[in-house]
Structure formats: structure tokens, C-alpha cells
Amino acid sequence: MARNGAVFTAETFRFFRELARNNRKDWMDANRERYQQHIVAPFRVLLERLTPAVLRMDPDFDTSGRTGRNFSRINRDIRFARDKSPYRTQMYLLFSHARDSRGETQLYVGVSAEAVTAGLRIYNGRDSRLRAVASLRALQNLPWLTRQARRLGRKYESYWYATEKGEWAKRPGWPTAPEAWKRIRGWVVRRKWKPVAATRPAFLVEVSKVFRELFPLYRFCTSPAWKP
């Protein structure tokens, strides 16, 4: 793989399409070498190439290369899931602060058979910054959030989650109203591309730009020292 060449190839997306049709352990065991070559190895290259730009934004980002911190798991936890498929048909590269013990606020790149995305996501977990920092801050700084929605809204998709009858329900748009932040359980701001975009060398430049443009939102959601 050339140092400045494309990270992903058409084989990455072919693997995910075939996995979706053959989501079984015997198929994965037979295709483990393909998984390592076209999924695991490119994602590690992606981490290596994005790390300098990420650390320039904030040296506190975790870039250790650990599964669960920088890489999502391909194996699904099916113990309590209705869907018993053993594998996920997408993979994520994740960047979160080392002080975020559960890594629930992330800059990320996601690759699946159908699309490639990059952006910011934050979820409400046991130690979530969404509950401890972002929700309280948002209620006090709604005009700032509204300005960010105007700045980014034409280029980025935004949606958030609330809970209805015990289930997460997706809500399109930017959470700029007080009612949203009283109910919010998750928030995603992302840019979406067709798979072919990730097979071009310029993809790394595009992802770095996404991270820079969304980093003010990341700081808003995480940093104790944030100021408007």
C-alpha cells in the first residue's frame, strides 16, 4: 500500500456485502484472511495516517490502537439481542479522549457495504459526557448551538435520539430546542459518501477536514474548559 495512496479498495466493500449474505461463523472462519487483509489492515493504516492530524487538534486523544477504543468489534454481543447474527457488517475507527473512560464521545469514520461516514457521535452511558457536560451546557448555550447548525447544516447530516416506550427513537435535525436536550440520549453529526469515495487518496484529506470542522462541537460536548 503506497504511503499516500488510497486506504480502502473495492474488496473492503465486497467483503461486507458478502458477510451480510453469509453472516455465520463457518463463513467468517473460511474468510478470516480476507477480513484481516481488507478490513483490519486498512483500518490500522487509517489510524496511522489520521493520528497526526487528530493529535494536533488535541494531544489527549487516545490513539493506542486498541479494539474497543480505536476500533469497533466485528463480533456482536447477541446475548440479549433479537438479531442473533454473530457479526456486524460495518467497522468504525474511533477517536475519544483518554479521560473519557468509556469512549462515548467520538470523532469517527465508519465503513459499511452501502456507505462511508465520518463525523461526531455522543451517547448516553454510565459515564457519559452527554449527561455530565453536554446537556447542561446546551441548555445554557442554545444560541451558540444554533449558530453551529447554521454553519454546518448544509454540509452535515444531524440527528438525535430520545427514548419512547423504552426504545430509542431517531429524531432528524439539530437539537437546538430545550425540549430536545431534556430528552436526548444520543447525537450524531456526520458527512456521508458513497463507498467509492473511500477508495480515493483524497479521502484522508476529506476526513481530516470533517474532524477539524466538527472539533468545536466535540469540545463543547467534552471539555470542562469550553467557552463560547
Distance CA 114, CA 106 (A): 22
pLDDT value at residue 125? 61
pLDDT value at residue 6? 86
pLDDT value at residue 124? 75
Query: What are the tens digits of pLDDT across the range 77-101?
Result: 877 777 789 999 999 999 999 877 6
- Write down the H helix ranges in 58-177: 129, 135-140, 142-152
Distance CA 185, CA 14 (A): 33
Element (H, E) at 210: helix 203-222
- Write down the H helix ranges in 22-175: 25-30, 32-35, 41-57, 129, 135-140, 142-152
Distance CA 108, CA 100 (A): 15
Closest CA to 92 of 11, 190, 176, 212: 190
Closest CA to 71 of 35, 102, 108: 108
Task: Report all structural domains of the chain as residue ranges with CATH numbers, in order of start.
Answer: 10-222 (3.30.930.20)
pLDDT value at residue 126? 53
pTM, 2 dp: 0.91
pLDDT value at residue 101? 65
pLDDT value at residue 196? 95
Measure Cα distances from 166 to 80, 156, 160, 169 in Å: 15, 29, 16, 9
Helix axes 203-222, 142-152, angle to 10 degrees: 170
Query: What are the tens digits of pLDDT across the range 20-56?
Result: 999 999 999 999 999 999 999 999 999 999 999 999 9
pLDDT value at residue 208? 97
User: What pLDDT tens digit does each residue of the chain (228 aa) get?
Assistant: 444 578 999 999 999 999 999 999 999 999 999 999 999 999 999 999 999 999 999 999 999 999 989 999 999 887 777 778 999 999 999 999 987 766 689 999 999 999 999 999 998 765 566 766 888 899 999 999 999 999 999 999 999 999 888 888 999 999 999 999 988 999 999 999 999 999 998 999 999 999 999 999 999 988 888 888
